[in-house]
């Protein structure tokens, strides 16, 4: 008998297949004591295992490329954290085996993360994965992970670590469902990059029996258990129609009455460029530059290295718009040479632009490298600062850009509610705004973007978040300037129509989402988008907002 479950849809598409479960976690190693004379040997074993795991994560990142690469490189840095290794050495010195020392040291660090206001709770899954890989290597047992299967299947897991998600084979993994995670978790972001249908934050997903046939709708978040023949036919027909519509939709983004909405790509480095070009991106709306800085947490990359990486992306979009975000370090992306190590709550501390203003040499080098990378290229370069709180922040960034001789537009990201509330003030210093809806939701609702338990508050359809978007767009229009969205909200085709109706002037997303958004926008007039936006803002919940907007656009 068919039953229906609902989680959070995070990656478009339909998947129908048998359930296969992710392998279970590594068992806890026994707590046995070793003689003092064996301590040095055990410490050596632990270091070798850590280095091997870090190397494997980096290799996986190199294979995956793009967004996945910098996520996995950050995870490798986590494995090699000097404080963690010092704790491992201390535990082994007083009698623990290598595997037990690693297990207990990671458990202690895990508790610290949970005690830091849970902002870093989203990193716990990554931390557990690193621990499991090291312990498995020390025990000489296979690392639990993606099941071995010759037939395509739907993967079910409590959560997916980046190392597993990055290398999923789309020819075998039709889609995946997780019990935890949120719409902006690493699993969700990497699923969209892979083009694999995915649903997260589905309580009880692990109780689905192995071999059960399920149908996954990555757009609505619905899971149909043992779907009827009629339901399967309906979903397959809908998927086929959607695929045909995507193939027929080409050219610049626009509504049906010709209102232009440039569709740009979010990229994490040169490796993401081919997919963006293939999807018809009109430029880059968010060029994340952190990938360069994660190679070495102890020092910033040289100006020459930065120039080469930036130019590779700029050259791919002649006559196009490329919006570069300067280094966004801190919180879940700590860098030893830049971010404080002892902040009680890194999310609310020195991160983003605050870190760069405390280290003007790092900012100056990056801005100078961007200026040199753009020399002689017919590209429209725009540079923006993360975590801008007010006009003073915006002015400090604009002054730094001018001092570096940067011939580009200077902008501010709106990720903090204060920047949305005082957007006209911020726009006195910069030339454009870009809404990072992931962090804006996180700070508006005090809801960690990586914690599945608060995923409803991370839903970009939340009316309060739409109000802040509208406020920012209205301010930009009044100042005769642009206001784009580069957060994950732009990848939802229906929400893209609402954002357009709110006055947003461009949308930036993962390359895989561009055809979906282009096709959907082309169905509706600007007036219809505006009416849908008004209906969504009048609602009292995210679900009501989504239903109200859909009703308007469907003509109901």
Q: Which residues are catalytic?
A: 186, 486
Main-chain dihedrals φ then ψ at residue 148, nearest 5 degrees? -85, 120
Neighbour tally for 389: CB within 10 Å? 18
Q: Radius of gyration over alpha carbons of the chain, in Å?
A: 24
Q: Distance between CA atoms of 91 and 279, rounded to whole angstroms?
A: 52
CB 73 within 8 A of CB 8: no
Q: Which residues contact 450 (CB under 8 A, 6 or more apart)?
A: 121, 122, 123, 181, 182, 184, 185, 186, 332
Cβ burial of 150 (10 Å; 0-12, 13-18, 19+) is exposed
CB 285 within 8 A of CB 489: no
Q: Which residues contact 373 (CB under 8 A, 6 or more apart)?
A: 306, 307, 308, 310, 311, 314
Nearest Cα to 182, choosing from 115, 113, 122? 122
Q: Distance between CA atoms of 156 and 214, rounded to whole angstroms?
A: 11
Q: Distance between CA atoms of 273 and 252, rounded to whole angstroms?
A: 18
CB 410 within 8 A of CB 324: no
Helix H or strand E segment including 387: none
Neighbour tally for 315: CB within 10 Å? 14
CB 105 within 8 A of CB 69: no
Dihedral of the CA atoms 400, 406, 408, 409 (nearest 10)?
10
Main-chain dihedrals φ then ψ at residue 475, nearest 5 degrees? -65, -45
Q: Is 211 helix (H, G, I), strand (E, B) or coil?
A: coil
CB 218 within 8 A of CB 199: yes
Q: Distance between CA atoms of 71 and 191, rounded to whole angstroms?
A: 13
Q: Which residues contact 90 (CB under 8 A, 6 or more apart)?
A: none
Q: Distance between CA atoms of 22 and 511, rounded to whole angstroms?
A: 28
Residue matched to tokens 């967004």: 67
CA angle 18, 24, 25 (to 5 degrees): 150
Nearest Cα to 511, choosing from 280, 239, 171, 309? 280
Structure-token pair, residue 379: 């590209």
Main-chain dihedrals φ then ψ at residue 141, nearest 5 degrees? -115, 155
Q: Using the Cα atoms of residue 40, residue 43, residue 47 and residue 52 in order, give the sign of their dihedral.
A: positive
């Amino acid at each position: 008998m068919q039953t229906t479950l609902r989680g959070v849809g995070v990656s478009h598409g339909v998947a129908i297949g048998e359930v296969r479960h992710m392998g279970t976690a590594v068992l806890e190693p026994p707590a046995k004591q070793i003689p003092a004379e064996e301590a040095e040997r055990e410490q050596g074993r632990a270091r070798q295992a850590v280095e091997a795991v870090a190397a494997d994560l980096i290799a996986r990142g190199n294979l995956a490329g793009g967004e996945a690469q910098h996520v996995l490189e950050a995870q490798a840095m986590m494995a090699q954290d000097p404080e963690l290794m010092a704790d491992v050495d201390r535990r082994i010195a007083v009698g623990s085996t290598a595997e037990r020392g690693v297990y207990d040291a990671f458990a202690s660090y895990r508790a610290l993360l949970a005690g830091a206001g849970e902002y870093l709770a989203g990193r716990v899954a990554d931390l557990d994965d690193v621990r499991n890989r090291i312990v498995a290597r020390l025990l000489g047992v296979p690392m639990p992970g993606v099941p071995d299967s010759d037939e395509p299947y739907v993967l079910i897991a409590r959560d997916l670590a980046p190392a597993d998600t990055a290398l999923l084979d789309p020819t075998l993994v039709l889609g995946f469902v997780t019990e935890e995670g949120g719409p902006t978790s690493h699993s969700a972001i990497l699923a969209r990059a892979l083009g694999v249908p995915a649903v997260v934050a589905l309580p009880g997903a692990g109780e689905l029996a192995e071999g059960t046939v399920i149908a996954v709708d990555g757009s609505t978040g619905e899971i149909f258990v043992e779907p009827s023949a009629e339901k399967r036919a309906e979903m397959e027909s809908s998927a086929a129609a959607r695929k045909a519509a995507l193939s027929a939709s080409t050219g610049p983004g626009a509504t049906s009455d010709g209102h232009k909405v440039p569709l740009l790509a979010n990229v994490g480095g040169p490796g993401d460029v081919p997919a963006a070009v293939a999807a018809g991106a009109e430029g880059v709306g968010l060029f994340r530059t952190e990938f360069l800085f994660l190679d070495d947490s102890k020092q910033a990359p040289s100006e020459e290295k930065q120039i080469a990486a930036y130019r590779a992306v700029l050259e791919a979009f002649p006559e196009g718009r490329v919006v570069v975000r300067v280094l966004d370090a801190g919180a879940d992306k700590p860098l030893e040479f830049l971010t404080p190590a002892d902040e009680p709550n890194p999310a609310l501390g020195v991160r983003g632009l605050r870190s760069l203003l405390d280290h003007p040499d790092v900012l100056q080098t990056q801005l100078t490298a961007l200026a040199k990378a753009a020399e002689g290229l017919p590209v429209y370069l725009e540079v923006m600062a993360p975590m801008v709180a007010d006009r003073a922040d915006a002015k400090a960034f604009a002054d730094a850009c001018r001092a570096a001789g940067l011939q580009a537009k200077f902008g501010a990201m709106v990720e903090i509610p204060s920047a949305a509330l005082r957007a006209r003030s911020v726009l006195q210093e910069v030339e454009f705004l870009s809404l990072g809806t992931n962090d804006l939701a996180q700070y508006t609702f005090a809801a960690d973007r990586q914690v599945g338990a608060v995923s409803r508050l991370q839903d970009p359809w939340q009316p309060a978040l739409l109000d802040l978007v509208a406020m920012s767009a209205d301010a930009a229009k009044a100042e005769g300037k642009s206001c784009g969205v580069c957060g994950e909200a732009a990848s939802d085709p229906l929400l893209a129509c609402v954002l357009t109706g709110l006055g947003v002037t461009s949308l930036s997303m993962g390359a895989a989402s561009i055809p979906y958004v282009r096709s959907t926008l082309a169905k509706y007039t600007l007036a219809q988008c505006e009416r849908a936006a008004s209906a969504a803002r009048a609602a009292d919940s995210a679900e009501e907002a989504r239903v109200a907007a859909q009703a308007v656009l469907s003509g109901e």
